[in-house]
Amino acid sequence: MTTSRRLADHKSAKFQKNIHKRGAVPETAMKKPASYPVGPVVLGMFIFVVIGSAIFQIIRTASSGGMD
């Protein structure tokens, strides 16, 4: 057998063996999806600032008597 024929047979056998393994990927090899793109502390600070500023705006509007 020539070297190229032997190499082709080896690659073909490796490919055929790999066909039977499709879908049987171990759990450790799969990527886990990220739970949150930002941390819980950053998210908490963002919510605190947004809700706090909204409450502050409502109190300021109510104390000034509505529209000026």
Which residues constitute the domain of residue 56? 37-68
Q: Decide if 27 is inside a domain.
A: no
Q: Tens of pLDDT along 10-61? A: 888 888 776 766 666 666 666 777 666 888 899 999 999 999 999 999 999 9
Q: Decide if 18 is inside a domain.
A: no
Q: Decide if 11 is inside a domain.
A: no
Please give the Cα distance from 2 to 4 (Å, whole number): 6
Where do we find the tokens 């073909």?
12
Give the Å distances, CA to CA, from 7 to 16, 19, 22, 29, 31: 14, 19, 23, 28, 33
Q: Decide if 7 is inside a domain.
A: no
- As for how many domains the chain has, the answer is 1
Helix residue ranges, H only, 3-39: 3-19
Q: Decide if 48 is inside a domain.
A: yes
Q: Decide if 61 is inside a domain.
A: yes
The pTM score is 0.42
Q: Decide if 62 is inside a domain.
A: yes
| Predicted pLDDT at 34 | 65
Q: Decide if 53 is inside a domain.
A: yes
Q: What share of the chain is helix, strand, coil (3-state, %, to 5)?
A: 65, 0, 35
